[in-house]
Chains A and B, each alone.
Chain A
Amino acid sequence: MKHTISVLVENHAGVLSRISGLFSRRGFNIDSLAVGVTDDPTVSRITIVVNGNEYIVEQVKKQLNKLIDVLKVKIIEPEALISRELMLIKVTASADTRGEIIDIVKVIGARIVDISRNSLTVEITDSADQLELLQDLLGPYGILEVARTGTIALEKGVHSIHNK
């Protein structure tokens, strides 16, 4: 089962390697990991999606909390989760196929960010499922390359990682 974990960490060198080292050392599987600075420039937020049972998730949380550079860890329950991921996907497009691709992009709520004689680059910001759906739909036209950010997430409502 997939679990989304929000982690606030000290924003300094070496922190990411401590976290990724912990995951590989303890045999935790990371689905995705995204890092960025928060409203406090000394603090970064890492969003990790892990695959595992309850025991694994509990261990991940406890082991993360042990790291001195980790300030807060919160497992976001699936029902309270707002999660987004950004994907850029470059697809082969000729005069014949361009129209069909633009239709797909419109329906799925993505947008075209670059166009050339033989290609289209599409940006989509959505849940991981929708990203995969788009990728699946564009597959037949010939995908040239894909870049994804990994999932970031916040809790619904007024709750935040700062309160329980």
Chain B
Amino acid sequence: MITGAQAMVKCLENEGVKDVFGYPGAAICPFYDALADSDIRHILVRQEQNAGHAASGYARVSGRPAVCIATSGPGATNLITALATAYMDSIPVIAITGQVSSEQLGRDVFQEADITGAAEPFTKYSYIVKNAADIPRIFKEAFIIAGSGRPGPVLIDIPIDIQNKKLEFHYPESVAIRGYKPTVEGNCGQIKRVAKALADCKKPVICVGGGVFFADAADEVLQFSQKLRIPVVSTMMGLGAVPGGYELFLGMMGMHGVAASNLAIREADLLLIVGARIGDRAVNSPDAIAKNTKIVHIDIDPAEIGKNVGVHIPLVGDAKNALSRLAGEVGALDFSEWAAQAAARKKPGEFPARESSVNPKRFMSMLSDAAPEDTILVADVGQNQIWSANYFQVKKGRFLTSGGMGTMGYSVPAAMGAKCACPEAPVFAVCGDGSFQMQMMELATIVQHQIPVKIVLMQNARLGMVRELQSNQYQGHCTAVFLDGSPDFLKLAGAYGIPASRIASDAEIPQALEALFAAQGPYLLVCDVDPGEASL
């Protein structure tokens, strides 16, 4: 017989978990006591939300569910933003929260919060454990649910008395969840219909989203595009699914995307959507497109098909499965002419020189050129995100960001998670001076656990994207966007023992990049950016 807490740790070991991110408190202490006896590395974040984001970064890079831990009450509620962020972007995060003793539940005792209730809209599923004997089954189910079908966060809330109860431990090989059977295999007839539609069209475009990564379908997308010569556009979540420098990759679509992509979508007579939900930022008026364009939608989540855009041919299933079978079904088609026409509209970046500030687009473009192939770039939210998305070209690495939720403060903790999951890859977090101040407590985590993340801070002393919105849509009435009172970030980094430097002109970029790449440990580079700089 072992305790519930020991069983929780054993479950994680059985799932092959190597690292977890968390923050202890009274109600989760039995688990922490048991965790100390395990080889699992615990990374102590400085705020629970960041444990969730770190797990998100870890999961996205490892392709497997990643774990974050918090105590009951405020610890658990602090996780909610991270859960919501993971939910919107379909990231498999397992959140374990301590809870007050079962017999005290519902009496508003110290640090009690109904976290399963509060997180319900932001989780794929949640459990409150009532019997210690259920722990192995619940953990097994949680990992299956989080990581399969359309991935998403799963919450396991465990009262402290259950963590202390004894049980006979046996970890199940598999469990049957009768209400959960994701459709992986695409329907044969539908695949044939897609093949026919492709044969009948003249100007197809492939639109990739974040689903491509979890289906591990990046190679299939690229091969399909190369074979048939179909141009590819991407949502923000899909960036990196095909290499940024691929000749038929037109760039990011949508509100903050590039003209080549948006024009191609407008002109296309067939849009093949793969693992994307066509959110409002990706397609402004989906109905207008559906009028003139045949829409084929491949998604593992049937509820996404037809939700945001009218679909002519739905294809529910795993993107890898669907695309490889589709490739076998289509004959010898060649859209070279159209592809060349669409690709010819790609424009190289233009970077007017800045003398007393850094042109952030030029910086991102130069960082991109200098970065090793496997670089993982984590962009925060705001102007820095758009500069990163449009001017950093993913090669064999990844581009991570909070696409759906737009959660500021994502980049540094997510970069920590990504670095822990993939220690050999260079990992960069790009943020603004607004978002940095939502997460700068994590510098301590980086130092304590020696996570060599490089941070690029675009400092314009503004909440730049809101400033831009106010300039354009509120008659320049700029309010509450001035970040006066920010600390000297170099001194701040220094206080943590993190080397840092600042640049204030384009001329300094090459040298700064050299220092950034040469640093063995963490590094902070501050770029002075003109407050008037535009996102696009």
Contact = CB atoms under 8 A, between A and B. Distances in A.
Contacts of A10: 178-179
Interface stretch (B68-76, B114-122, B193-201, B335-343): B114-122
A10 B307 CA distance: 26
Main secondary structure of the interface of A (DSSP, over half): helix
Contacts of A117: none
Given A66-B301, A68-B145, A18 B120 contact: yes
A57 to B, nearest CB: 12
A62 B303 contact: yes
B54 to A, nearest CB: 26
Nearest to B154: A68
Contacts of A62: 302-303, 307
Nearest to A24: B121
A67 interface: yes
A17 B117 contact: yes
Contacts of A9: 179
Interface in B170-207: 177-180
B125 interface: yes
Given A58-B306, A65-B302, A66-B303, A14 B116 contact: yes
A21 interface: yes
Interface residues of B, number: 17
A62 B150 CA distance: 14
A63 B303 contact: yes
B117 A65 contact: no
A59 B121 CA distance: 16
Nearest to B128: A14
Interface residues of A, number: 19
A67 B128 CA distance: 16
Contacts of B116: 14
Contacts of A65: 302-303
A52 to B, nearest CB: 14
Given A59-B303, A59-B307, A62-B302, A68 B117 contact: no
Interface string B286-327: 000000000000000111001100000000000000000000
Nearest to B302: A62
A159 interface: no
Nearest to A58: B306
A66 B145 CA distance: 11
Interface string B121-144: 100110010000000000000000
A100 B301 CA distance: 58
Contacts of A70: 179
B28 to A, nearest CB: 21
A55 to B, nearest CB: 8
Interface in A23-78: 25, 55, 58-59, 62-63, 65-71
Contacts of B125: 68
A84 B458 CA distance: 64
Contacts of A21: 120-121
Contacts of A68: 124-125, 145, 177, 179-180
Nearest to B304: A62
A55 B120 CA distance: 24
A25 B121 contact: yes
A106 to B, nearest CB: 46
Contacts of A58: 306
B179 A67 contact: yes
Contacts of B179: 9-10, 67-71
**Could you say which of A62, A63, A67, A71 has the most chain B C-beta atoms within 10 Å of its C-beta?**
A62
Interface string B88-126: 000000000000000000000000000011001100110
11 contacts: A9-B179, A10-B179, A14-B116, A59-B307, A62-B303, A63-B303, A65-B302, A68-B124, A68-B125, A68-B145, A68-B177
Interface of A: 9-10, 14, 17-18, 21, 25, 55, 58-59, 62-63, 65-71
Given A62-B307, A63-B303, A66-B303, 9 more contacts: A10-B179, A17-B117, A25-B121, A55-B306, A58-B306, A65-B302, A67-B179, A68-B180, A69-B179
What 6 A-B pairs come out closest when comparing CB atoms? A62-B303, A68-B125, A71-B179, A68-B180, A68-B179, A66-B303
